[in-house]
Structures are given as C-alpha cells and as structure tokens.
Amino acid sequence: YVPDTGPRVRVNQVGYLPAGPKNATVVTAATTALPWQLRAASGTVLASGTTTPRGVDPASAQNVHSVDFSAYRTAGRGLTLAVDGEISHPFDISGTLYDQLRSDALQFFYIQRSGIAIDGNLVGAEYARPAGHLGVAPNQGDTDVPCQAGVCDYRLDVRGGWYDAGDHGKYVVNGGIATYQLLSTFERTKNAATAGHGAALADSTLRVPERGNGVPDILDEARWELEFLLRMQVPAGKPLAGMAHHKIHDRNWTGLPLQPEDDPEPRELHPPSTAATLNLAAVAAQCARLFAPYDAAFAQRCGTAAKTAYAAAKANPARYAPSTGNGGGAYDDSNVTDEFYWAAVELYLTTGERAYLTDLTASPHHTGNVFEARGFGWQSVAALGRLDLATVPNGLPATELTRIRASVTAAADSHLAEIRRQAYGLPMPGDAGSYFWGGNSNVINNAIVLATAFDLTGAAKYRDGAVQAMDYLLGRNALNISYVTGWGEHAAENQHSRIFGHQLDPSLPKPPAGSLAGGPNADLQDPFVQQLLAGCAPMFCFVDDINSYSTNEVAINWNSALAWIASFLADQGDA
Ligand code: 9MR
C-alpha cells in the first residue's frame, strides 16, 4: 500500500504566525542544498534561499531537507513554497490563524455529549441527534445503571458526560485528564500575560446551550463532564464510599456506525479504582476553585467530593482496574503514585491546607522528573500537578517555586533540542517508540510544556517550539496530512467514530472541524492496519480510514490537548 502523499514540500497547511518560526521539510533524493522560493498566490516570488540537507530521517525513512523562511514576516493568503520542482499545499501567514481552531477544538465536546439532545441550530443540522443513554428504548440508559456481576448491590444514575471517543463508553480516568485540560485552558487566562484575561473564552464564545448564562462557556462544557464524574462516586453508606467507579460502558462491543440513541447494549458500572478516584479528586478540586466566582454551591459540592475522594483513595491505595474486558477500553493503570501526587497538588492549590502540602511534598514526583521525552497522558499525570504548581498562585516557599518552574523550562529546553534534531520538527525522539496509540496528543502535551515555559519566562524560543509542534500536526509530516478535520488542504476526515460514520453511511456527518486523529502508531493495534500497513516506517503507520481505531480515532483527551494549545496559539497573534 503506497499512500498518495502529494507534493514533496511539506508545510503547515494552515499557516504560520507573522512573527513566528516558519519551517518546512522537503522529501528529495538530492544530497546537496537546493534553492527554495516562497511564492504569493499570484506566483510572485516573496523570498528565496537554500535548503539544509538533513540526511535520512529515521521515523519516515525518507531523505529530507529542511527549509527555514522565518525571516519573511508579512501576512498573506494562499502562499506556497516551491522546491525541487514541487509546489507545497497553500498556506497563510496570519496572526489570527488559530482563533477559530480554539473554538472548533472546544466545540467537539458539545457534540460528544451524552444524555442531552444535540441542537442542530447550534452546531449544524448534520450533527443534531436525540439524547443518548437516557433510558429511552432501545437504550437501556445511564440513568439507572447496575454494576457488573458481583461488584455492587446498588444502581447509580450516571447520565451525562462526554462519550470518550469513537465508542459510547465513559471512563473516569480519561474524563479526568480531558476535564483538567479544559479547566486548565481556562485557568491559564487568569495567570498568563498573553491570555488577555480570558475574553476569548468568556460567556457566549462557544455554541453550547448554556451560552448567555453569565458563566464562561468553557466552564459550562467542563461542567457537563464534572457532573458525570461526581455521579460516578460511590454514595455514602455503601462499601468503598467516596471512591469512584472506574468506568461505565456497554456489556459488549457494538459495531459502526451506531448513534448513541440506538445503542441497545446493557450498560454496566465497573468496580471503583484508586486511579479513577484520584482523577475525580484532582478535577473536582480544580472545579472548586474555578467555579467559586460563578456558582458557590457547585464549587462547594466539588470541594467536598474532592476531599472525600482523596481520603477514600488513601484508604484504598491499590485498587487497580483490570487490563482485560469486553465492551469498552481498559484505561488500566497499576502505578498510581502520579495520580496521588496530582490530586494532592490540586487539593493544595484549592485549599492551601497543610495536609495536602505534606502529601505532595512527600511524593517521589515532587522532586523527580515528571516530564518524559514522549510526553504525558492519561496514564501518567504527574506533569499535570507540576504544571499547575508552576503556574497557579500558591504558598510554596520562593525557592521551591523557583525549582519547580526551572523543571518546566528544563523540560522545555530538552523538547527544543529534540525539535532541532527532527527534520520534521516534532518534539519527540525520532525512533519508533514515539509513534504509539494516541501519540498526536503526546506531541501536543509536549507543546503544552513548551507553551507553559513561554508563559513563565516570556522567552520566544519556547513559543516557537510550540508552533513547530503544530506545524507537524497540520501537515509538515511524512504523510503530508493535517491530523485535524477541516484544517489544512489535506486533512484527516474519516476518524473512527460510531457517531461520525460518514465513510460507512454518507447520510451521517464527518467528524466536525477541529477533531484530532490519534496519529501514527507503529504498534499497528487494529486488524485494518495490520493487514494494510505491515512494515510501515513509523511516521507512515497511519491511515485515514474509519476502521483504524488504533491510528485514526477521535478522543476527548486528545481534543482537550488540542483545545489547550490552540487557545495558547490564538493568544499569540502577531506577537
Ligand atoms: O488512548 C488509549 C491508548 O492510550 C491505549 O493504548 C488504548 C488501548 O488500551 O486505548 C486508548 O483509549 C481508547 C479507550 O480504551 C476506549 N475508547 C477509545 C479510546 C481511544 O482509542
């Protein structure tokens, strides 16, 4: 199978910020420098120079050159880069490039909502659908869900929340990091100099039913999931009270496409887990501090849930979800030291209480390296705590804060070093180990570390690193593809989803603009790519086909990363 990868000149197909870095990659047999031309839509040559030969890129197995046209800083539309007889996809140079991506990436969450009808007047008629999983036949409903056999003797109303991904499952662990990233996108506007006091994330900035209620829409969206997460907590008086059930999903896997309201499978609660409980504790603590100005009662409810969850996790520190099962993902994790650290940090930031400070200080993650070369994710969350300690005002001694902030800039420096090594400019090591399930979100999470270093220091090199990570995701890659639906000349649009089943049934919609695909996965973990892509070079281990859930799914924790970085970049504008 040889994919059509279009012109051999690879650019960010969306474009470049006027004052930002402007890099491209050329696939060529040439081993010596080649001339390049930046051209206006009319064909006029705007700038020119020569390429830098980079040799064979290990992740793509291609001989490549890089082009740096950062010196050109004038806004324009429909520009192209011409090298070696090839002309790139067109792109813009604009300070408003990422404004719409911020809202598109956030808008994804409303369309993923469970337990509410999706209003076509808000998001387009093709995305309108009845409420899913409210107990209306054929749904068995999330309003009165029993446990799996032998797990508990009660039923819970766990309606609401977001569908995790292309499936109809709802998982507290992954809901945790996704909610954290939305809340963090908002919280950044309180603390970062370039964030403009959050005007772009204020009320009535998204197309959600709650717009106009006086609360920033991004908080309304996060609350839809927070309310679900709170419902997953084991009620007082029951065994393991205060813990959170790990997940709720169908008893058996369903096929594609399948609209939520048509899902006939029994829904089941899975046992409480320590990881889920600590995810609940962490984001409920964030909720308590961020909702306080808008809804004191809700903030208090979150605060209480955070504390009871944290205490329950300490009393049950090693209840691990199994790695096997049917009907849904596992989200298993048998090392929860990082979840303990993250939850203690969030509770400390919210309450200032000494007990949480004692716990976070005693954690090995407080002094250890929490920033891995290949990024953080749902299973490794210590970085979430560290980033918040570095940015959210708190009472740590100045020397401690200095050390913590230095750990963020040190991690950002190592990501910058990696970007320089990579001919495609991504902030990940160049071997196959960087190409795994959902790896595009890890690329962004490294960009978030870079962006946070910029927020802390104002040093442009960190902002520029975050931009380069987006260049990779928006087209500067071996497949010449943008991994974000609707963004770029040639973008993924057939992501694995039961809802967005257009590829299988043309009467169904494609994923909405702003949906991030999981990305190349050298482990080839679904039958479709096992048959199609055997032997692929790592950066080629992706196919834009709905059948490939291990390379091309959508997921809330991937889009939450996209929303964070898009919001950051939109704030940079002409800077
Ligand atoms: O994103 C998850 C990835 O890190 C795991 O390797 C993979 C296999 O366990 O599962 C991914 O999460 C999926 C979840 O299990 C079920 N819903 C869809 C998620 C995205 O593919």
Domain ranges of the chain: 114-120+127-367
The pLDDT of residue 529 is above 80: yes
**Which residue's C-alpha comes closest to atom 13 of ligand 1?**
329
Which residue type occupies 153? D
The pLDDT tens digits for 540-569 are: 999 999 999 999 999 999 999 999 999 999
Q: How confident is the model at residue 16 (pLDDT cuts 50, 70, 90)?
A: very high
| Among 513, 515, 510, CA closest to 499 | 510
Task: Report the nearest atom of ligand 1 relative to the CA of 329.
Answer: 15
The residue nearest atom 3 of ligand 1, judged by CA position, is 437
Which residue among 177, 551, 553 has the greatest number of ligand 1 atoms within 8 angstroms of its CB, and so is best to mutate?
A: 553
Ligand 1 centroid – CA 329 distance (Å): 6
What percentage of the chain reaches a pLDDT higher than 70?
100
Cα distances (angstroms) measured from residue 485 to each of 11, 477, 511, 550: 17, 16, 7, 17
The pLDDT of residue 230 is: 99
| 575 pLDDT higher than 80 | no
Can you tell me the distance from the alpha carbon of 367 to that of 29, in angstroms, rounded to the nearest whole number? Answer: 47
Provide the pLDDT for residue 474. 99
By most ligand atoms within 8 Å of CB, the mutation choice from 171, 258, 436, 437 for ligand 1 is 437
So what's the pLDDT on residue 573?
86
Give the ipTM of the model, two decimals please.
0.99
The mean per-residue pLDDT over the stretch 142-167 comes to 97
165 CA distance to ligand 1 middle (Å): 8
Give residue-wise pLDDT tens across range 21-41. Answer: 999 999 999 999 999 999 999
Q: How far is the CA of 330 from the centre of ligand 1 (A)?
A: 8
CATH of domain 114-120+127-367: 1.50.10.10
| pLDDT tens track for 208-217 | 999 999 999 9
Dihedral (Cα; 156, 161, 166, 168), 10-degree rounding: 20
User: For residue 557, how far is its CA from the centre of ligand 1 (angstroms)?
Assistant: 10
Cα separation, 162 vs 171, in Å, equals 9
Q: Is the pLDDT of residue 235 over 80?
A: yes
pLDDT confidence of residue 2: 86
Strands 15-16 and 91-93: parallel
Q: Which residues are catalytic?
A: 544, 553
Q: What is the mean pLDDT of residues 377-383?
A: 98
Atom 7, ligand 1: residue with shortest CA distance: 437
Q: Please state, in angstroms and rounded to a whole number, the distance separating the CA atoms of residues 62 and 476.
A: 13
Predicted confidence (pLDDT) per residue in 485-525, tens digit = 999 999 999 999 999 999 999 999 999 999 999 999 999 99
Residue entry with tokens 């004692």:
358
Closest atom of ligand 1 relative to the 165 alpha carbon: 18
Q: What whole-number distance in Å separates Cα of residue 339 and Cα of residue 341?
A: 5
Mean pLDDT, range 105-113, rounded to an integer: 98
Q: Say if residue 355's pLDDT is above 80.
A: yes
Atom index in ligand 1 nearest the CA of residue 166 equals 18
- pLDDT per residue over 443-493, tens digit each? 999 999 999 999 999 999 999 999 999 999 999 999 999 999 999 999 999
Q: Which residue's entry shows tokens 């210590």?
A: 382
Residues with CB under 6 A from ligand 1: 164-165, 167, 169, 329-331, 437-438, 549, 553, 555
Q: How many CB atoms lie within 10 A of CB 147?
A: 18
For the residues 415-444, what does the mean pLDDT come to? 98
Here the tokens at position 507 are 């009467």
| Average model confidence (pLDDT) across the chain | 98
Using the atom order of ligand 1, give the atom closest to the CA of residue 441. 1
Residue nearest to atom 18 of ligand 1 (CA): 165
The closest of 330, 284, 336 to 306, measured between CA atoms, is 284
Closest C-alpha to 342, from 296, 398, 382, 310: 382
Residues forming a β-bridge with 245: 272
Instruction: Decide if 67 contacts 34 (C-beta within 8 A).
Output: no
Gap from CA of 531 to ligand 1 centroid (Å): 20
pLDDT computed for residue 135 by the predictor:
96
pLDDT at 495: 99
- Ligand 1 atom closest to the CA of 164, numbered from 1: 17
Q: What's the pLDDT at 98? A: 97
Q: State the pLDDT confidence band at 178, using cuts at 50, 70 and 90.
A: very high
Which atom from ligand 1 is nearest to the alpha carbon of 331? 15
pLDDT band of residue 196 (cuts 50, 70, 90) is: confident
pLDDT of residue 37: 99
Instruction: Identify the residue whose C-alpha is closest to ligand 1 atom 12.
Output: 329
Could you give the CA distance from residue 363 to residue 212 in angstroms, rounded to a whole number? 42
Q: Could you report the per-residue pLDDT of 281-320, keeping only the tens digit for each?
A: 999 999 999 999 999 999 999 999 999 999 999 999 999 9
Ligand 1 atom 14 nearest Cα: 329
Taking residues 39-58, report their average pLDDT: 98
* CA–centroid distance, residue 324 to ligand 1 (Å): 12
End-to-end CA distance of the chain: 43
